Amino acid sequence: MKKILVILFSLSLVSCAVEGLESTIDNNANNPNNPNNPNNTATFTDALPLNIGNYWTYDVVGLTNTRDSLYIFGDETIGAHTYKKFKNRNNIATGFYCTSVNNNNVRKEAGKLLLTGNLSVLQGITLPAGVDFSVTDFVIFKESATNGEILSEKTGTFQQTISNFPVTIEYRLRAIGGENFTSFTSPNNDVYPNVKSTKIVVNLKITSTQTIAGFPVTINILPQQDVVVSTQYLSRNIGIVYTKTNTNFALDPTIAAQIGLPVSNSQIQEEFLDTYNVN
């Protein structure tokens, strides 16, 4: 009888230990701060709260001063994933950030924000049209990104004829990790806590092959250069609080005159968060 009691007591201790271990494992696995949690979306992705009805308004300062109103319209299912659909009031946006997410879909996954849609990041740039910036799960933000880390990239090449001038256009779209700020002060002196920046960069190269004296000659109409560099600053539990976009390009002046394109363009646009409602 004593032996039986000892065995039962030992089994009871083992059972309690196993239950305690399982409980610890479950708690750790479900901890949102645990990087090994497969359901972890990382707390900092609250930098862009994705709930229907959330909205943000921005004062856009550039060549002209305007105002954008961005909101989350609803859910949209694409393939196996459900996204949040972003829209601008009256479907019109002037700022780089609001334009880039307008009518596009965003979802969270493992500390990342992924965008599916068409990035209209060359709006207002008088360069050849036709660049395909349609993307699927393009990473626009990554919580753990290091400064300079490439988060997503899309490249392509296509031909076009401009004023009877055959040209080849090469493009490269990148999202790049930026800096971390415990406290960030925007140029209009608004202060935001827990901010991380991300860059969207568009690089273009335009060439034309001409036959001169019976030999093919490649002319650099637009030497390879970053024509758009836009930096977005995201604050936890708020969203994008400030965006600065630099647009610069310089073409070969002789060729530019022949095909009717401007020789150069240089402008800065800023988007300042004004009002917002997130839940």
Each residue's pLDDT tens digit, 116-129: 998 876 665 656 66
* Per-residue confidence (pLDDT) for residue 246, from 0 to 100: 94
Separate counts of helices (H) and strands (E) for the chain:
3, 12
Q: How far apart are CA 31 and CA 39, in angstroms?
A: 9
The answer for residues whose C-beta is within 8 angstroms of residue 38's C-beta and 6 or more apart is none
Helix, strand, or coil here: 45? helix
Helix, strand, or coil here: 27? helix
Q: How far apart are CA 99 and CA 62, in angstroms?
A: 14
Helix, strand, or coil here: 101? helix
End-to-end Cα, the chain, rounded Å:
63
Q: How far apart are CA 244 and CA 246, in angstroms?
A: 7
Q: How far apart are CA 66 and CA 60, in angstroms?
A: 5
* Per-residue confidence (pLDDT) for residue 161, from 0 to 100: 83
How many Cα atoms occupy the beta-carbon half-sphere of 149 within 13 Å? 14
pLDDT at 206 over 60: yes
Q: What is the average pLDDT across 116-144?
A: 81
Q: Which residues of 35-56 are buried (b: 16+ CB within 10 A; e: fewer)?
A: eeeeebbbebbbbbbbeeebeb
Q: What's the whole-number average pLDDT of the chain?
A: 82
Sign of CA dihedral 140, 266, 172, 72: positive
The first and second tokens of residue 233, run together, are 């600053």
pTM of the full predicted structure? 0.80
Biggest alpha carbon–alpha carbon distance for the chain: 109
Helix, strand, or coil here: 80? coil
* 219/33: higher pLDDT: 219
Q: How confident is the model at residue 167 (pLDDT cuts 50, 70, 90)?
A: confident
Tell me phi and psi for residue 56, to 5 degrees: -140, 140
Q: What is the average pLDDT across 162-189?
A: 92
Q: How confident is the model at residue 137 (pLDDT cuts 50, 70, 90)?
A: very high
Q: How far apart are CA 276 and CA 263, in angstroms?
A: 40
Strand spans (E) along 125-164: 134-142, 150-162
Q: What is the per-residue pLDDT across 34-91, written as a single tens digit (0 to 9) for each?
A: 444 433 444 555 678 899 999 999 999 998 899 999 999 999 999 999 999 999 987 8
Q: How far apart are CA 21 and CA 25, in angstroms?
A: 6
Helix, strand, or coil here: 215? strand
92: number of Cβ within 10 Å: 12
